Structure formats: C-alpha cells, structure tokens
Chain A
C-alpha cells in the first residue's frame, strides 16, 4: 500500500498556498504509507540556463556553504545554497554534467535527489506529518506538487527508496502499486546506459519515462509505452515543469480520485485527502479510468 497526492494549480491566487494545501493532503494518507514520505514542489521557476539541485547530506548541520564556495571556485560559476534541515537547494548556472561531476568529486556523501528549473524535492523516512514539519512544506509557494506516503512492500525503507523519483530535469514520479517485470526492464535500461540509484521498482518506471522523453516522446506517449511494457499494478502520478498526469493499469485496483475545478486539478489515492481543499464541494470528482492517460498542461 502507498498513498499519492498531487495538486496542479490553475488559479494563480492559490500559488502562495501550495504547501499549506498539500501538507494536510499528504498527512491524510499516513494510514496508507506510514514509513516514509516525499514531495516534489514546483515553483519560483528559474530562467533557462539556471538550475536548482535538491541535495541531501548524511546528517543535519552539514557544512553546505564551504561546499558551495568550493563548487563556485571550481566551476567558475555562481553557486547559491539554501540549507533546510539535512537537505539543501543549490542554484547555479553551471552546466548539469560539469556540476554533477564536480559535486561528486567534492562531496561524494551528498545525494542528488532531483534537479530542474522549477522542481524541489524533499523526502525522508518517518511519518508524513513529521517530514512536512521538518522541511517546512506548509510554507512553500508554487504552482504544482506531487507527494507520496510509502508502505514499503518490495524494497528497503530508506530515504533513497522513498518517492518521488526524479531522474530527469523537472520530472517527478510517484507510484502506488508494484511491478512484476521491473527487473527485466531495469536490465534492458541499464544495458542502454541508464543509471539507477536504488533497487526500487518505482525507480525503474521513473527512469523509463525519463528515457522515453529524452528520446523524444512527450509525457503522454511515454505513459502509453508504460502501459504497453510494464506488467503490474499501478496508479502513477507524474509531473513535469509544465504537465501533470495520472495513469492506472488495466485492472485499476490501486485507487485514484481526481477533483477538477476552476482553481486546480487535485489527485489523491483516497477522497478524504481532498475533502478540505477550497471549493471541493463544487469540483468535478471522478475516478480515472484504467489505461487512460489523464494529462493537464499549464
């Protein structure tokens, strides 16, 4: 079991409230996933040529500023760092490959959780309410977010194994379910040069979507290929810088509810996670059909 929530705002006036709205949604699904939780938040979009890097250190109180200074010197580029508990968001105009290379050499103990122009990722082991409080999620503004509460069934309970998985710029994926052919697809992707951080089955589908999109698929096409190639049970919520998509497998035995109104599109595993959203009583509430791609763009 796991829980999924997502919010894709259409009304700009709600953007200051993104974290405030998403936090209780995530906490509502604690019963579906009490062992770890994570959230990808999209907002304060940087111009092309600059990127945000969501980093995680092995412990709180990590010396982020010396690392940022060293990277700035080595890269000859501006490097800002915003520490938050054991994580930090690093902002730089340095090219991705060079930055990753220098970061890996300077601080091999630091994990890159995700990157992009708009996306920041926070995830941890523990209960969702504690994790949201730790990173101050309720105070974050933005235009879109996806979150996950995990009850691990197939791989270890660690921060690395928790969702969202974000293997490409501004791409985040959360999954409720389990895949039965993920090892086969992992081997195939690995043979083609795709690198994995964990042995988690959901990471395989995230990397698969990233790989398809890198080869030219749009998000809808990539998800149609997921339906074709992945065997198992899944409700997936996938976000990019501009899109928000939900897809369920043919059996659709992992739940999903979508609420749509003028202000937002919201998705959750269970309706009660949506029940406190503003204007929910007038929203169109429906279950996404099996094997249909539900996709919204901004």
Chain B
C-alpha cells in the first residue's frame, strides 16, 4: 500500500506519482481537503482510495483505475471517464460522470444537478437523488437513480437511457417515460449488483428515454451505440 498525503505533496506531484506506479498498486490518498483534480488522467489499473472529501474532477479522464472516495466530491467527478470505476461514499456535486465514455461513476449519496450530462457511453449510478437537468443531452450509456430526479430530467436525450427508482419531478424536452422491457430489467439488475444499491427494485424503476422528436444526430446513418 502506497500512501500519498495532500498535506505533503501538491496535486501535480500526487498525480505524477500515481502515473508512475506499477499496474495493480493499491494507493491511499490522505488529507485531500477538497483538492481539485485528484487521480485524473490515469491510464492503467490502480486501486486508489481517497480518505476524505475531494474537490472538482476527481478521477476525470481516467482509463482504467478503480477510485474510491471516503467522503464527498465536488463538480465533475469522473468527467470524461473512459474505463474504470469511481465510487463515492458520500454526495457528489454537479455534473457527476459528465461526458464519460465508459466505466462507472457510483455515488452512494445524492448527486447534484446535471448528473450524467452529455454522457457518451459511461454509466452513472446514484443511490439517492439527482438534481435538475440530469442526463441533459446524454448521447449513450446508462444512468440509474435510486431516489428522486429533479426537474427537466433527460432534456434533449439521444441514445442514453435513464432509470429512476423514485419520483421524477419533471421530464425535460423530448424525454418520455417508456415501458420496461426484459432487457431493461437485466440492465438495472446488473447496475444494482455493480453498485450494491439493493434498495433499488429493478422491476419498479421508471425508464426515461428520448422521444426522438428533436433528435438530429443521424449524420452517420450506420452509427452504432
């Protein structure tokens, strides 16, 4: 176990050290004090634990590591994540998992507004509530909300699908509620297994997807998602 303290090292030094560690190393980051940009841009598998509250963009741009935060995180946790898992054992601020292409951002508390905004294939799972405009313009991937969703959920959605265990305060433009299929059940079950959020009943979630009335994203006709 490698321990890196934010009281002794700058964020740049910590990230540089992380990048230089051999794949598979377990790392503990202590005393984060809300620092921004911790554990960003890591392109190999590490098991990183952040002991405390982190700031913006925790785990952003990563392609491989598993990052766990024992605290809350600021804006843009896992922004543009490519692969790997980020688990937050607290709340997340705005734009959790924004633009992530792959991997999973798992939040045990609530996430603020714009969770999963512009999602591009990644997975965002939130045990509690999400704020307004979550899933805005999400192009591909999955969002599972265990609690309630705020206003304008799924505004201008493309191919991403949102599942909500609680209430949806309002749907955004061109978002609609659809019937659950067997595929949906399987997908939600897998997300419940991944997250461990077993308060979510896969049979009792609301599926929100694009109504495709404002959908103008077919320039590449044979594009697959």
Same complex for A and B? Answer: yes
Does A275 reach chain B (CB closer than 8 Å)?
yes
Choice from A251, A253, A275 contacting B34 with Cβ under 8 Å: A275
> If the complex has contacts A270-B55, A272-B35, are A290 and B113 also in contact, measured as CB distance less than 8 A?
yes
> If the complex has contacts A252-B132, A255-B75, A255-B93, are A287 and B34 also in contact, measured as CB distance less than 8 A?
no
Chain A residue nearest to B73 in the complex (CB)? A271
Q: Which of B55-104 contact A (CB under 8 A)?
A: 55-56, 72, 74-75, 93-94
Chain A residues, CB < 8 A from B187: none
Within the complex, the shortest CB–CB distance from B55 to chain A, in Å, comes to 5
The interface size bin for chain A is: 10 to 19
Chain A residues, CB < 8 A from B35: 272
Binary contact readout B26-59 vs A (1 if CB under 8 angstroms, 0 otherwise): 0000000111100000000000000001011000
Binary contact readout A251-282 vs B (1 if CB under 8 angstroms, 0 otherwise): 11101010000000000001111111000000
Chain B residue nearest to A31 in the complex (CB)? B36
Does B210 reach chain A (CB closer than 8 Å)?
no
- By the criterion CB–CB under 8 Å, are A252 and B113 in contact? yes
- By the criterion CB–CB under 8 Å, are B34 and A271 in contact? yes
Does A1 reach chain B (CB closer than 8 Å)?
no
Does B112 reach chain A (CB closer than 8 Å)?
yes
Does A285 reach chain B (CB closer than 8 Å)?
yes
CA distance A280 to B53 in the complex (A): 11
Main secondary structure of the interface of B (DSSP, over half): loop
Give the total of B residues in contact with A, Cβ under 8 Å: 17
> If the complex has contacts A271-B34, A272-B35, A274-B34, are A285 and B113 also in contact, measured as CB distance less than 8 A?
no
CA distance A222 to B129 in the complex (A): 30
Chain B residue nearest to A28 in the complex (CB)? B34
- By the criterion CB–CB under 8 Å, are A271 and B74 in contact? yes
- By the criterion CB–CB under 8 Å, are A287 and B112 in contact? yes
CA distance A271 to B75 in the complex (A): 10
Chain B residues, CB < 8 A from A272: 33-36, 55
Chain B residues, CB < 8 A from A253: 94
CA distance A273 to B56 in the complex (A): 13
- By the criterion CB–CB under 8 Å, are A287 and B93 in contact? yes
CA distance A290 to B34 in the complex (A): 22
Within the complex, the shortest CB–CB distance from B33 to chain A, in Å, comes to 4
Chain A residues, CB < 8 A from B33: 272, 275-276
Within the complex, the shortest CB–CB distance from B141 to chain A, in Å, comes to 22
- By the criterion CB–CB under 8 Å, are A270 and B113 in contact? no
Chain A residues, CB < 8 A from B132: 251-252, 290
Within the complex, the shortest CB–CB distance from A116 to chain B, in Å, comes to 33
Q: Which of A275-298 contact B (CB under 8 A)?
A: 275-276, 285, 287, 289-290
Besides A252-B131, A255-B94, 10 other A-B contacts (C-beta < 8 A):
A255-B74, A270-B34, A270-B55, A270-B74, A272-B33, A272-B34, A272-B36, A275-B53, A276-B33, A285-B53
11 contacts between A and B (CB under 8 A): A251-B133, A252-B132, A270-B34, A270-B56, A271-B34, A271-B53, A273-B34, A275-B33, A276-B33, A287-B93, A289-B131
Taking Cβ atoms with an 8 Å cutoff, the residues of B that contact A are 33-36, 53, 55-56, 72, 74-75, 93-94, 112-113, 131-133
Taking Cβ atoms with an 8 Å cutoff, the residues of A that contact B are 251-253, 255, 257, 270-276, 285, 287, 289-290
Question: Which 6 pairs of residues, A with B, have the shortest CB-CB distance?
Answer: A272-B34, A271-B34, A275-B33, A275-B34, A272-B55, A287-B112
